[in-house]
Structure formats: structure tokens, C-alpha cells
Amino acid sequence: MTTKHTHASHGADRNPAIMLAATQLNIVTIIDVAGAVRTDTLENNAALLDNSGSSTGKGTSDLRTYCQQGQALNWLVYCMDQQKRPDGTWPPFARISNIVFLHDDGTARSNQLCINLKVYGGPDAMRSPWTPVYYYWAGMLRPDLEPGIYKYRLIIECSTEDPDKKKYFELDGPSLEVVAMEQANAA
């Protein structure tokens, strides 16, 4: 019998910084949809978190996600009110409509920062208390991306009590702090 050894089977002797290269980062935007629709703003109605240990601004709209070249990033939305109402209807929900990377002056970058940045999962066609909605954006940072800070804008689409009406909001505070793989592995 031949035993095949992999890095995964030797997890105890691995450097945690090296493991970062294989870790997907989840960037979660928590939205009070009712508050955003009522006040017509995401200010005080949105906060971002991620699972990177070195990020700053967690719990604010100015999250700076610490990540490395070639890392997979997932952008998700969590709506504060997700429970089915007593009358059988669902509350309004939010989703990311687009992610736009920005220059320092706020204009859109034309160069590609992520490989295959797109929507994954299906739309919220049928809500269920037992089935989560898998609708998120994901992409892999280019392995040759110059280390630095990259601001981005989330375009958030919120449904309203009127099923034919949607509201769109822009969230310009978040950014990515991209480090070189060698720098992350040396940490």
C-alpha cells in the first residue's frame, strides 16, 4: 500500500503565513436595507468585515482588506433583516450589482486587477429558511499585480417594498492592501 503525503496532511508544521496563499478571503458587506431605503443612503446603514487578520477598518465602510497577489477574494452581502414576515412576505434585500476599482481621484481603473471577477451562484429566486442564497462576486487578484492600495466602489442594489422598484447605492470607502507573495510568506 502506498501512502500519498500532501501539504494538507502536514498542517501542523506549516507556516501560517504561507497558508494565507491558499486561503480565500471573504469580504462581507452588512446592510440595513430598510434603513438604507428609508434614508436614501448607505451611511450608517452599511459596514464591511473580512476574515483577514491584518485588515483595518473592520465594522466600517472604510475596510482595508490585507491580501496578497494571486489570492482569491469573495464579496458577499448580508442583510440585517432576513426573516420571513408573519404575513408570508420577505423583507427587501440587497446584492452587489458591480465592483469598480478606482484611481485615487475616484475615476474607474481600466486595467484588470482580478482574474474572472464576476457573479457566482444563483439569484435569490426562492428564499427558504433552510437554503442559503449563494449569490456573490469573486475573483483572483492577478499574481503580477503591483503591491499597493487599491480603492474600490461597491454598487449595491436594494429592493424596496414595491417589487417593481429598486434603489442603487455607491459605497466608495473600501480598499485592498495588496502585498507581494514573498512579503506575506515572510510574515
Cα separation values, 155 from 77, 86, 160, 183, Å: 12, 31, 16, 32
Within a domain: 1: no
CA atoms within 13 A of residue 42's CA, in its CB half-sphere? 24
Closest CA to 79 of 30, 135, 128: 30
This model's pTM is above 0.85: no
pLDDT of residue 42: 96
| Domain presence at residue 75 | yes
Whether 181 maps to a domain, the answer reads: yes
pLDDT of residue 186: 61
Lookup: cell for 3: 501512502
Q: In terms of Cα–Cα distance, which of 53, 95, 101, 102 is closest to 75?
A: 95
CATH of the domain at 17: 2.60.40.3910
CA distances, 104 to each of 48, 107, 117, 174, 175 (Å): 20, 8, 21, 12, 11
147 lies in some domain: yes
The pLDDT assigned to 83 comes to 80
**Owning domain of residue 50:** 7-186
- Cell numbers standing for residue 106: 475616484
Q: Shortest CA distance to 170 belongs to which of 36, 49, 57, 28?
A: 36
Determine, yes or no, domain membership for 124: yes
Q: What is the pLDDT of residue 29?
A: 95
Q: Please give the pLDDT value at position 128.
A: 56
Give residue 82's pLDDT.
79
Q: What is the pLDDT of residue 127?
A: 55
Total count of domains within the chain: 1
Q: Is residue 2 part of a domain?
A: no
Below-70 pLDDT ranges, the chain = 1-22, 122-134, 183-187
152-183 pLDDT, tens digit each = 999 999 999 898 999 999 999 999 999 998 76
pLDDT at 91: 86
